[in-house]
Amino acid sequence: MKKYQALGMIEIFGIVYVLQAADAMVKAASVELLGFENVASGYISVLVQGDVAACKTAVEAGVMAVTDMGAEVYSSVVIPSPHEGLYKIIERYSIDALLPPAVEE
């Protein structure tokens, strides 16, 4: 069975806050920004992956960045050893899946 990297996720209300959180997350630790999902009614989740310690550091930094702006984090979590089935869901919200296809010249 393939070992998957840890996942770190934060859910916040509003794109400005989620961008601030994502920026803080990737600057604070060696994590890869996987993607985001507009959950409902303005709630947006941002997802990163890396080793467990990096994901914990990234999530803590993202939460702090948002609370420093006076906003509230709806939820946050680090999954140290995600089941491979979760990646079927995550792939749907990857940054690559959200970008329009490249136009060939």
The answer as to whether 1 is a domain residue is: no
The answer as to whether 20 is a domain residue is: yes
The pLDDT averaged over each successive group of 10 residues in the chain (105 residues) is 80 94 97 85 91 97 97 95 83 67 64
Number of domains in the chain: 1
Q: What's the CATH code of the domain at 17?
A: 3.30.70.1710
The answer as to whether 84 is a domain residue is: yes
**E-strand spans in 14-72?**
32-40, 43-50
Please, what is the Cα angle at 77 between 86 and 53, to 5 degrees? 95
Prediction pTM value: 0.83
Domain range spanning residue 46? 6-98
Q: For residue 87, with 0-12 CB atoms within 10 Å meaning exposed, 13-18 middle and 19 or more buried, which class applies? A: middle
State residue 41's pLDDT score.
83
State residue 84's pLDDT score.
84
State residue 42's pLDDT score.
85
The answer as to whether 103 is a domain residue is: no
Nearest to residue 17, comparing CAs of 81, 64, 77? 64
Residue 67: C-alpha distances to residues 13, 61, 71 (Å)? 12, 10, 5
